[in-house]
Amino acid sequence: MSERRVVITGIGCVSPLGNDLQSTWDGMKAGRSGISRITLLDPEPYECKIAGEVKDFAPDPYFRVPKDSRRSDRYVQFAVAAAKMAMADSGLDVSATDSRRVGVMVGSGIGGLGTLEREHEVCLTKGPKRVSPFTIPMMISNIASGIISMEHGLHGPNMVIVTACATSNHNIGEAWRMIKFGDADAFLAGGAESTILPMGLAGFANMKALSTRNDEPEKASRPFDKHRDGFVMGEGAGVVMIEELEHAKARGAKIYAELVGYGVSADAYHLSAPSPDGSGPAYAIGMALKHAKLNPEDVQYLNAHATSTGLGDIAETKAIKLAFGEYAQKGLMVSSTKSMTGHMLGAAGGIELIASVMAIVDGVVPPTINIEEQDPDCDLDVVPNVAREAKVDVALSNSFGFGGHNASLLVKRF
């Protein structure tokens, strides 16, 4: 791996806590839940009636041609919005740089499920000739990346990695790798998702993966709590501008943090359940530390994947103990911001890396809310219920996906 260093110079996000960085981060610091009763559809027939919806979102201003937003799936609208915010925040002037050296990797775990559902219904009820000619380009998982490149005139590497709920981390990590390798100088990277839809709700619910704490939406997402009963679906997008250090310095960019490590592995165990011994994620964490030339004790904060499922939170606790040894319970702060946003699936890693970066910038570790009785099998310092002021120099963010995909990102104070 080359000595080219990679820094984060721009941040953009859309989440159940707010439609920009400031409102999302303020919500996390305040320990505010973004979970409520579903309004995007009638939830009555569904076992799970709650989700982390993005509220009051108007996509048109984020597109150069407003009507293009109506030719885009909701997940793409979120991605384009977050990418535009990250680009503006970075201050990168594409006309003043080589656009072939700026890439895009903004993925989605599921893609345009809303478009697929809607046009499939049209096909069945009105006939095949009534199906929109935009159906295929609107629903495919790579199209957000393609549209972002068109919106900003970016001619560099453009692709996506789809690894379910590890999607954002893999896209950011592989973009980091390409910059390190010298194939690009900057990337817009992250993920977006919008699946609060009949098929999304029914599919996850019938796996018994979703919480049914419908009477207390704000308390339903409770990672590491003994009484958790499944995850709560969220939606939105998290995108960062990552940039080669000298390229960023040459244009006087502000730098949030340095991206210093990336680890990947597979559980090779089960379709949807994590390997119970935690060895896969532990290996990914170890790889990220090795890339960064850091020891476990150098990490102050870990943003956990912890989704609020029975098996997952325990498996990740074991992974953290394997990777960090005794330090896992003697100094490492671990929290799950999914307790506030819900599980944003392919967008989760983007939002959670942003939370990790902001913990370094602000000196505040976001809490795990809804801890009423901590599970004894999740015996870590989970920063229960209230944010904590603490100096964070190094933070790690975990994301794991159905299929056994594991990815860890490591950021450091610059």
d(CA 132, CA 387): 47
Contacts of the segment 225-228: beta carbons below 8 A, 24+ positions apart: 225/308, 225/370, 225/371, 225/372, 225/373, 225/374, 225/375, 226/372, 226/373, 226/374, 226/375, 226/376, 227/372, 227/373, 228/308, 228/309, 228/310, 228/313, 228/375
What integer pLDDT is reported at residue 273 of this predicted model? 84
The residues annotated with a catalytic role in the active site are 165, 305, 343
d(CA 201, CA 375): 27
d(CA 191, CA 83): 10
Q: First CA to last CA across the chain, in angstroms?
A: 20
pTM above 0.75, yes or no: yes
Given a contact cutoff of 8 angstroms between Cβ atoms, the answer to whether 123 and 130 are in contact is yes
What integer pLDDT is reported at residue 272 of this predicted model? 83
How far lies 265's CA from each of 213, 216, 277, 287, 354, in Å?
Answer: 33, 36, 14, 9, 22
What integer pLDDT is reported at residue 191 of this predicted model? 98
Q: The dihedral of CA 313, 339, 104, 253: what is its sign? A: negative
Q: Could you tell me how many residues make up the chain? A: 414
What integer pLDDT is reported at residue 276 of this predicted model? 86
Helix axes 348-362, 167-181, angle to 10 degrees: 70
Given a contact cutoff of 8 angstroms between Cβ atoms, the answer to whether 262 and 412 are in contact is no
List per-residue pLDDT tens for the chain, 414 residues long: 568 999 999 999 999 999 999 999 999 999 999 999 999 999 999 999 999 999 999 999 999 999 999 999 999 999 999 999 999 999 999 999 999 999 999 999 999 999 999 999 999 999 999 999 999 999 999 999 999 999 999 999 999 999 999 999 999 999 999 999 999 999 999 999 999 999 999 999 999 999 999 999 999 999 999 999 999 999 999 999 999 999 999 999 999 999 999 999 999 999 888 888 999 999 999 999 999 999 999 999 999 999 999 999 999 999 999 999 999 999 999 999 999 999 999 999 999 999 999 999 999 999 999 999 999 999 999 999 999 999 999 999 999 999 999 999 999 999
> Domains plus CATH for the chain?
7-250 (3.40.47.10), 260-412 (3.40.47.10)
What integer pLDDT is reported at residue 1 of this predicted model? 53
Burial zone of 405 (CB within 10 Å; 0-12 exposed, 13-18 middle, 19+ buried): buried
What integer pLDDT is reported at residue 319 of this predicted model? 97
* Residue 22 neighbours by CB under 8 Å, 6+ apart: none
